[in-house]
Amino acid sequence: MHILGRMKRTLAIWAFALSLLAALPASAACFADYKAKMDNPLRLHYGVIEIPDNVCSVDAAGPEIARRVATEGWELLEVMSVFDETGLSAREADAGRYYLHF
C-alpha cells in the first residue's frame, strides 16, 4: 500500500503541473522586417524574418538579424519594425524571395 500511495501522490503532482502548463498563454511568434545591402555591385533587399521572443524589439533584433543575413554576404542596414503573425501577410509580397528566407 505504501508504494501505491506514493504513486498516486506522484501522479497527482504531475497532473497538477500539467494543468498549470496548459493554463499558460501560448507564446506568440515574433517577426521583424528589415533592409539589407550587399556591395560590388550594390544590391538592396527588404526582408521579413522570424526572430526569437527574447529579441523581439527593434533594438534587440539587430544583432540577431545581422548575424543571419551575413551568412549570405548581406549587411543589415535597418530593422524597421517587429510584429506578430498578424503582420505577415501584408509584408509577404514586398519581401518577395526574402520573405522568411533567413
Residue 67 in any domain: the answer is yes
Residue 3 in any domain: the answer is no
Q: What is the pLDDT of residues 6-53, one digit of tens each?
A: 656 655 555 554 444 444 344 579 999 999 999 999 999 999 999 999
pLDDT for the residue numbered 76: 98
Burial 23-47 (b: 16+ CB within 10 A, else e): eeeeeeebbbbbebeeeeeeeebbb
pLDDT for the residue numbered 21: 40
> Residue 91's domain spans which residues?
30-98
d(CA 60, CA 69): 15
Global confidence as pTM = 0.71
* Tally of structural domains, the chain: 1
- Is there a contact between 16 and 9 (Cβ–Cβ < 8 Å)? no
d(CA 86, CA 66): 24
Residue 83 in any domain: the answer is yes
d(CA 96, CA 35): 13
Residue 85 in any domain: the answer is yes
Residue 3 pLDDT level (bands cut at 50, 70, 90): low
Residue 41 in any domain: the answer is yes
Residue 15 in any domain: the answer is no
Residue 2 in any domain: the answer is no
Q: What is the pLDDT of residues 47-98, one digit of tens each?
A: 999 999 999 999 999 999 999 999 999 999 999 999 999 999 999 999 999 9
- In the three-class reduction of DSSP (H, G, I as helix; E, B as strand; rest coil), residue 80 is classed as strand
Residue 88 in any domain: the answer is yes
